[in-house]
Structure 1
């Protein structure tokens, strides 16, 4: 173990001790394996592949060929390691002429979930906060309350999946993440259950980041590692299961922090190692539209799969459906 890694680990353990989180996360009785999920949000992302690319805010589902190719290649790599991926797709994608590649992903055993139709903010209280598209074209939602628009947008994605793929969505992920998930939003929890969902992926714990363009300091990595404890699945009082997204995402690293790939790999390695050590859950969140220009050789995917393989019977690659099933028993 090199000095930097050793110092990071020691700092992390100190942080856990001070916060009391280490005592809250023993190895789970009866759970011998850490559960590692690799998830892609199928949407276009502003600032990628070029920093000046911002039109994607208005056409989130207009996936380019590079994004689709990266998605299918990643799925093949994960399956070669004995696992399956979980994808969350915006409904606009189903307006594209050909969705055979999505059908093939489903037939290969990968899961495909609902990510709303227009990539809307489900926590929005005002129409103007829902999505850039509706600011440009407000007549699309004229006369409707945000709660109605949100419900219709989620339902529309489900209907698009049924029409083009012939399947129901495997779970729901909110566009964007909230540090508190859906806590305090009993209305949204109830809405999702009414729409047929038993689990949601909406929580993304708050964490530190580096100054833009700088490599993350040890304190930043320690804070990201400490946030893994807050990224563990739980059940809301109403029965809806929450499967949080684990820091740090590709957007957080490559857009917000402008990290180099080696920095991202270091953070992901440490987070997955923590997860394996604690027999916990890690939900790797990324976007193929971000990853194909940032990690064209799939180093992050291969790293995660290799760490799971080397862990032997201490870890396994799973989908979010598998994680949800373990909480619903």
Structure 2
């Protein structure tokens, strides 16, 4: 059995599908370098992170655009979730990002999350697979109870260039939990030297990886909607890029995607971007590029991308 099934590329460019995604979690080294406690409290969002997420939703709405959010379930333990409800009411989808930001590729319980290394009694007697499934299921229940709606898709915490290609167990588990698509793949590409501006070779590598990383369908029928490079984690947290360098990478990738009628899924985190991009220049840039492209491109949620990736099924004669 092959790891995945791919559709042949169209002979002529289709309408490009561009997604803006924001993962709602805290990030180590933000807002100050050296802060790592967030590894244990991924869902304990601070006020600037929540405000940035909400302001981005409002800005996108004003421009007739869409942002797809992914929420760590522990966020829903906080006293006030009205900001999340407003994001939803503005028309932006919110997906499941597990409860504790667990590593879905983990094979040992202690590998699933830093929190459980500090508090092993929370997972005592559970296998890694049971922890992962419970984390996903609990987030779905929390969203229903606290927000009043089901998650719009699932994104794995972290990404892997291997995606779920050889993990039919994870594919089937997600299908059993009610998901028709997943966003788990993040491609390999060059990063360059930390604290140095990206070279042309680095920019070219990122564009090439982005164009090559397109949606596909696993043998189980689960659709993969990959994350596109470069993420804010790779650009800012790991390599210390300046905002202008990040925007240039986004501009090149989105422009190339539009020219070829492909898919681009921009991955960012409000907990990083409120520090690195306080004026929402990345969101505005993507909107402007798509708007300037006219009918050659559209901003959509990942659910729309996943639906387009599904193989067409002939109508059943009545």
Scaled by the length of structure 2, the TM-score of the pair is 0.94
Q: Is the 8 A contact 1:25 1:278 kept in 2?
A: no
Q: 1:82 to 1:28 in 2, by over 3 A?
A: farther
Q: 1:60 to 1:320 in 2, by over 3 A?
A: same
Could you tell me which residue of structure 1 aligns to residue 302 of structure 2?
Answer: 320
* 1:214 matches 2:193: no
User: 2:61 pairs with 68, 74, 79, which one?
Assistant: 79
Could you tell me which residue of structure 1 aligns to residue 78 of structure 2?
Answer: 96
Query: Which consecutive unaligned segments of at least 5 residues does structure 2 have?
Result: 1-6, 313-318
Query: Which consecutive unaligned segments of at least 5 residues does structure 1 have?
Result: 1-23
User: 1:256 pairs with 215, 238, 249, which one?
Assistant: 238
User: Using the alignment, how far apart are the partners of 1:236 and 1:163 within structure 2?
Assistant: 31
User: Once the 2 structures are TM-superposed, how far is the Cα of residue 27 of structure 1 from its aligned partner?
Assistant: 5.1
Q: Is the 8 A contact 2:68 2:95 kept in 1?
A: yes
User: Once the 2 structures are TM-superposed, how far is the Cα of residue 224 of structure 1 from its aligned partner?
Assistant: 0.5
Could you tell me which residue of structure 2 aligns to residue 223 of structure 1?
Answer: 205
Secondary structure of the residue aligned to 2:204 is helix
User: Once the 2 structures are TM-superposed, how far is the Cα of residue 28 of structure 1 from its aligned partner?
Assistant: 5.8
User: 1:114 pairs with 92, 96, 117, which one?
Assistant: 96
In angstroms, what is the RMSD of aligned CA positions?
Answer: 1.3
Could you tell me which residue of structure 2 aligns to residue 282 of structure 1?
Answer: 264
Secondary structure of the residue aligned to 2:23 is strand
Scaled by the length of structure 1, the TM-score of the pair is 0.90
User: Using the alignment, how far apart are the partners of 2:88 and 2:120 within structure 1?
Assistant: 35
User: Once the 2 structures are TM-superposed, how far is the Cα of residue 231 of structure 1 from its aligned partner?
Assistant: 1.8
User: Once the 2 structures are TM-superposed, how far is the Cα of residue 327 of structure 1 from its aligned partner?
Assistant: 2.2
Q: Is the 8 A contact 2:211 2:257 kept in 1?
A: no
User: Using the alignment, how far apart are the partners of 1:287 and 1:105 within structure 2?
Assistant: 15
Give the total of aligned pairs. Answer: 305
User: 2:41 pairs with 59, 62, 65, which one?
Assistant: 59
Indicate the structure with greater helix content: 1
Could you tell me which residue of structure 2 aligns to residue 18 of structure 1?
Answer: none
User: Using the alignment, how far apart are the partners of 2:273 and 2:8 within structure 1?
Assistant: 31
Q: Is the 8 A contact 1:27 1:278 kept in 2?
A: no
Q: Deviations over 1:91-124 (max 9, x none)?
A: 0000001101111111111000000000000000
User: Using the alignment, how far apart are the partners of 2:64 and 2:11 within structure 1?
Assistant: 24
User: 2:156 pairs with 166, 174, 198, which one?
Assistant: 174
Could you tell me which residue of structure 2 aligns to residue 140 of structure 1?
Answer: 122
